[in-house]
A and B are shown apart, each in its own frame.
Chain A
């Protein structure tokens, strides 16, 4: 490209529309999105190759479950292209991917896209609820603890969060099931809705909420503890800074000093952590999903590996890596909004 050409020059005669496209924010997005394409390619190719190292293919699994004959197995391998060398299979997959065709899952007898569209909302709901709840409760506890450092309240919160942090999610999950479902009969044990109840409107919403209480709690606890401790430490550091002393000196009420001045800055590390939590939960809530009978992305990916269902696994990884990239872009933009000193780099 010759100098002075292209839309990265904001010269005269360029329309406002092109000016927006050439703005630093837009260039930031181009850059991040093109990185995203590379990341997703690496994820797809990498996991495809990794799965080739695992012995046995999908037909071996199907055959083991349903007594297939040699002819039937050969027939299935030919039908799904598994008799081809793996580079050919990978190329064929990439070709289909270029036209947004994620393929077919023989194990689930459905197109991968349909399965993803049906299961993605489960995961997104779980992730969104647990991030919002753990972040808000955790930071609230952190602020409370930092406010009176060394007090009984601080000690209680610190001890409680330490215990929560040290308790694995599956123990929390089993404990919740045992206590809230089996003993008290307050909440349904598993699933997302009452199967076969055909509820509508508010009744449906309440039903789903009741089903989500325990899984969300199980996903929340350890992150809540992390947020609380992180928030406490940052708040203690910030409240010793000069500008906070200035705020006190101005005679501002405590609420404004803490929430408007200190907490806004304390949010930055919390937001970083939230980005990690979202990324970890998108595909990594296998244990909680399994215990509560929820078919989210994690469980789907796990089953796909066990069943050597390549299309399904790559579909999950493709969608999840895309979501992680988007979340990271959002987090970066959130920094800019939270801290005016941060600028997007073009």
Chain B
């Protein structure tokens, strides 16, 4: 809707300029008007395993899947729902029924019409069963009613405020029931050669090499997509991905897909754009977890002392190259609806106070000047966790704590921290999602302490009041009350400090400036990109 109006304004403007100004300005004005045709190439790593994000939440899959499939809804900036497959929707007074009116005349890429049965199948057989995030988000959905071909009603056992935020093409793509019913959705061959309703249709997929998509001429949105083709290439080396952007062999790198230092270089390079818009669904926080089963770390004074040796600004500048802001609590600042610093305790850099706390906690400096010996496991995912761990090692040395950095590969890290719980400190980056109930909750909810499950509650934090608050937010439909609950949650977590939130990262797309309107809402390049075009 919004983009339509913007285009209209531009056209009018172009017309005005054309009648009054010199040809030079006409050319400039025309160049901002969307044009049909052209190819846009992403370069990314790692490669997608399947191209259907209904059965996985892995980032590489969602990048491709969102072009091939539609969701019921799309989201404008600020995560405001807007129509996609659903033209309109309403929630009943008691919050137990959500009714969606589907757009008529939507076709699958194979020509079959989209019906309410497709949505019912996707919800009951796939999202709720095979999608890790969907299992939590749609836990309250007990049934889907389809009174007619174009009406879908979600029936819930309890109200659930997060459902309305989880219906994008990125999170919950609607699958074709006629191709999936009666099969195992996890091994259905269409997962690697999808048939969707999205703006682009599948052409080819070579694992770890490339995906080729082409314009779906029968797309429900008139004159969309603008592009003829979209290509996603998988290249394992960051320097090579950077070179491909520079040479024009690739146009877009999503979600900080090249080294941070290189991103910094593109900021000042002609013909390129570093764009932070469209990551409202990602919200990644880099945090330092304490294993609360380790006796030394059970004393809050020790945890607070460790927090007080960290200069978060320094981390932002030198480890994240400006791609983040100091984290003040468990909720990412881009989750603006619930984020607050009001009354939330903070632990600014203060080495003397840290030493005093450690003395008080009964860890005086011994003859060799050492108070404590600890170890840290940085997550093997990008450079940042390891660099942050090395920084922490140097900082802790000055207050008499010897920190051993244990570097390892991803599988070893996951097993050690989440299955064996053989760790003391742990630095990791984790996506918190558009709503704290979707992403943040599991790090602090005592019921999410599940050894063996990765990126669950790894600290073994348990505070009955926090549990109570988190459980209340799962069903609270009143935005104001929900905001208050999350505010108290942020305060309590920072008082207890099971985790030191370090940096709320900022994700960016690095783009060739010839590509326009590749971000037209909250989920940015992880959406269908029907509005993207090439100048």
Q: Give the interface segment out of A3-11, A127-135, A180-188, A259-267.
A: A180-188
Taking a contact as CB atoms closer than 8 A, the residue among B207, B210, B415 that contacts A110 in the complex is B207
A306 contact set on B, CB distance < 8 A: 409-411
CA of A11 to CA of B413, assembled, Å: 66
Q: Chain B's nearest CB lies how many Å from the CB of A19? A: 49
**Considering only CB atoms, which chain A residue lies closest to B415 in the complex?**
A56
Hey, what's the 0/1 contact readout for A143-160 against B, CB within 8 Å counting as 1? 000000000000000000
Given contacts A108-B49, A115-B207, A188-B249, contact A70 B452 (CB under 8 A): yes
A109 with B50, Cβ < 8 A, contacts A196-B39, A196-B229 known: yes
For the complex, is A334 an interface residue (Cβ under 8 Å from B)? no
Name the segment of A226-234, A238-246, A287-295, A318-326 touching the other chain: A287-295
Q: How far is the CA of A56 from the CA of B420 in the complex (A)?
A: 10
Interface 1/0s, chain A 182-200, versus B by CB < 8 A? 1001001111100110000
List of A residues within 8 angstroms of B409 by Cβ: 306
Answer yes or no: B112 CB below 8 A from chain A CBs: no
**Contact status A293-B454, CB under 8 Å:** no
- Chain A residues positioned under 8 Å from B41 (CB to CB): 195
Contact call B244/A72, Cβ cutoff below 8 A: no
- A118 at the A/B interface (Cβ < 8 Å)? yes
- Partner of A69 from B49, B132, B208, B411 at Cβ < 8 Å: B132
A73 at the interface (CB under 8 A from B): yes
> Does A303 reach chain B (CB closer than 8 Å)?
yes
Q: Which residues of B contact A56 (CB under 8 A)?
A: 410-416, 419
B411–A70 CB distance below 8 A: no
User: Which residues from chain A contact B407 at a C-beta distance below 8 Å?
Assistant: none
Q: Which of B452-471 contact A (CB under 8 A)?
A: 452-455
The reply to whether B132 and A293 form a contact with Cβ atoms under 8 Å apart is no
Q: For chain B, what secondary structure do more than half of its interface residues adopt (helix, strand, loop), or is it mixed?
A: mixed
Q: A56-B415, A177-B239 are in contact. Are A109 and B453 (CB under 8 A)?
A: no
Q: Mark B residues whose CB is within 8 Å of A.
A: 39, 41, 49-50, 56-59, 130, 132-133, 135, 191-192, 203, 206-210, 212, 229, 231, 233-237, 239-240, 243-244, 246-247, 249, 408-416, 418-420, 450, 452-455
Q: A109-B191, A293-B236 are in contact. Are A67 and B410 (CB under 8 A)?
A: no
- Nearest CB to that of B213 among chain A residues? A196
Asked if A70 contacts B236 (CB within 8 A), the reply is no
A60 touches B419 (CB 8 A): yes
B135 contact set on A, CB distance < 8 A:
69
Is A332 located at the chain interface by the 8 A CB criterion? no
User: How many whole Å from B221's CB to the nearest CB in chain A?
Assistant: 24
Nearest 7 A/B pairs, CB to CB: A56-B411, A56-B415, A67-B132, A293-B235, A66-B58, A64-B414, A64-B454
Name the one of B56, B411, B418 contacting A66, with C-beta atoms under 8 angstroms. B56
Question: Can you list 19 A-B pairs with a CB-CB distance of less than 8 A?
Answer: A56-B414, A63-B414, A63-B453, A65-B59, A68-B454, A73-B452, A177-B239, A182-B247, A188-B249, A190-B233, A191-B233, A191-B235, A195-B233, A290-B236, A290-B237, A292-B240, A293-B209, A295-B208, A299-B208
- Rounded to whole angstroms, the CA-CA distance of A64 and B209 in the bound complex is 22
Whether the pair A177, B414 counts as a contact (CB closer than 8 A) is no
Contact residues in B for A63 (Cβ distance below 8 Å): 414, 453-454
Complex-state Cα separation, A177 to B420, whole angstroms:
43
